[in-house]
Structure 1
Amino acid sequence: MPFKHNAARRDKFAKVNYRVTNWAEYNKALRQRGDVTVWISEDAVRGWYAPRSGKRGGQRRYSDLAIETCLILRVVFGLPLRQTQGFVRSLLRLIDLAVPVPDFSTLCRRAQSLQATPCDRPTSGPMPLIVDSTGLRVHGGRGWMQEKHGLPKTRRTWRKLHIGLDPESGEIVASCLTTEHVGDPGALPYLLAEVVSPVRRFIGDGAYDGAPTAATIREALGPDVELIIPPPKNAVPGEGPSRNAHIDMIAAHGRIAWQKATGYGQRSRGEAQIGRYKAVIGPKLRDRRMETQTTETQIAVKALNRMTRLGRAVYERAA
């Protein structure tokens, strides 16, 4: 293989081992993530029905809270819409709560325009922001019918999920779903528009390198934000003093030393969060329309943040 041509002269890095120091608390949090104990407060019951709009014509029966509650259970337990309706109905029957449950067609229709309420995040100061993206498969068959019956194969497509992670809290503070034709720099303005907390450091891979992207980041996050973006191997000094400093440091001390000094290694947490999304939620989208797919990812991100707040593992480097 080409990447093994210089294997004899490459530096060998020993794998670092870590161990969890709060197994009791972390095990409790993992059990709570699968707990189906449900309670509904009186405020939620009063907010289950949609208020009257004051306009003529038919009125909505269910509030956004009711629709979002059903869709959260659907995403967490991986249920289709009809099974979600039956699951919520059985839960309400077990707790003796006499409120109606939205049917599957109502859930599908309301999901197109639903705006998921963001989770309240306490902030103690400016946070670092790690940005990354991944591909999600679109709902559909895997080609078995085409192979068996000789039908023409459909063109495969996917969606790109862009996330912004706060490594200190472990929560996804921003998310954006686009088509596969939109690159990472193109989706960045929409992603940064969802960041509410102040940001002191932006960490991204080489796809975000460039003067236009840096201008977009500083316009959205402020002129004082620190940009940790690796320049390419053939990069030359330009107009940005921060980027020039990175180029000079890499040329003088090497890329590994630059990663340690700048904290670029924290970007691996963004990749780990993407792996967690695909392991817990799934690698594909269940909805068929772009509007409902966007709602699906927003609700999935909110569910992951709630799981994170139950408890996180604390690691320390093993000797």
Structure 2
Amino acid sequence: LRAAQGFIDSIFALMNVPLRCPDYTSVSKRAKSVNVSFKTSTRGEIAHLVIDSTGLKVFGEGEWKVRKHGKERRRIWRKLHLAVDSNTHEVVCADLSLNNVTDSEAFPGLIRQTHRKIRAAAADGAYDTRLCHDELRRKKISALIPPRKGAGYWPGEYADRNRAVANQRLSGSNARWKWTTEYNRRSIAETAMYRMKQLLGDSLTLRDYDGQVAEAMAMVRALNRMTKA
């Protein structure tokens, strides 16, 4: 924010405009009350929605996976959940949660953000829960979620998952199932997250949670704008 303040002041000076940028502390305080939303198309069918999550730093240094290797320094993270249209590479749904919220717990709220018809949704094995499958069934979306190794059949109307389990048992892995269902298009969600971190950064500057949500949504909105450019 300090750099942004100096940048804007320099522009005013070059233009000979007698204005000053608001102090960065004022911007930081007011950011928590700013409601940033991103709008995507409400029309048209989505053939393939791909879903994943990544971590954004709030405090501390290092990468998302460093936390798993026992670093002693205290770190605070937020999890950004994204749902991406694999054809247009546009982020259709986005949500920010605390780092103790699992991917499957955030999934229903994420997928409910859009009312467009979706043929299929792909996500990794972390989403292989009844909570996620029930939400996809409710919205009549084909589930492309690989079952965990050694997974068993689920009784009831879980045809998509049970077919994946049957394929795993026949072939010994999920590799053939991933190829026949085009599950590997899910990597487009990982690409979107990589692009966002490379272009806009991998951390949040605000300490207030509401401000962090607005900051993350602004990043997603900017990414969509650059995708369309």
Shift of 1:99: 7.2
Aligned to 1:168, which of 59, 80, 87?
87
Q: Aligned match of 1:248 in 166, 185, 188?
A: 166
2:56 corresponds to which of 133, 136, 145 = 136
Is structure 2 residue 112 aligned with structure 1 residue 112? no
8 A Cα contact 2:60 2:75, kept in partner? no
2:145 counterpart (229, 233, 251): 229
Quickly say closer, same or farther: Cα 1:171–1:98, change in 2 above 3 A: farther
Deviation at 1:252, TM superposition (A): 3.1
Report deviation, 1:306: 0.9
Task: Show the counterpart of 1:197.
Answer: 116
State the superposition RMSD in angstroms: 2.5
Whether 2:104 is the aligned partner of 1:185: answer yes
Q: Which amino acid aligns with 1:243?
A: R
| Cα distance in 1 between the residues matched to 2:77 and 2:11 | 34
Percent identical among aligned pairs is 32
User: What count of residue pairs does the alignment treat as equivalent?
Assistant: 217
Q: Does 1:271 align with 2:187?
A: no
Whole-Å separation in 2 of the counterparts to 1:196 and 1:212: 19
Q: Compute the displacement of 1:140 (Å).
A: 4.2
- Superposition pairs of residues 50-129 of structure 1, within 5 angstroms: 81-91=1-11, 101-121=21-41, 123-129=43-49
User: What TM-score, normalized to structure 1?
Assistant: 0.61
**Correspondence for 1:47:** none
116-125 vs 257-266, which moves further: 116-125
Unmatched tracts of structure 2, length 5 or more: 63-71
Q: 1:171 to 1:96 in 2, by over 3 A?
A: farther
TM-score, normalising length: structure 2: 0.83
Deviation at 1:127, TM superposition (A): 3.7
Q: Assess if the C-alpha contact under 8 Å between 1:139 and 1:287 holds in 2.
A: no
Q: Which entry has the higher C-alpha Rg, 1 or 2?
A: 1
- Of 199-208 and 153-162, deviating more is 153-162
Cα deviations by residue, 1:104-150 (Å, 9 ceiling, x for unpaired): 233212211212142443743234211101112213468xxxxxxxx
Q: In 2, distance between residues paired with 1:141 and 1:274? A: 19
- SS of the residue aligned with 2:176? helix
Partners of 1:180 and 1:208 lie apart in 2 by: 16
Instruction: Using the TM superposition, give the Cα deviation of residue 169 of structure 1 relative to its aligned residue in structure 2, in angstroms.
Output: 0.9
Residues 175 and 298, structure 1, Cα contact 8 Å, conserved in 2: yes
Q: Show structure 1 runs of 5+ residues with no match.
A: 1-80, 143-152, 311-319
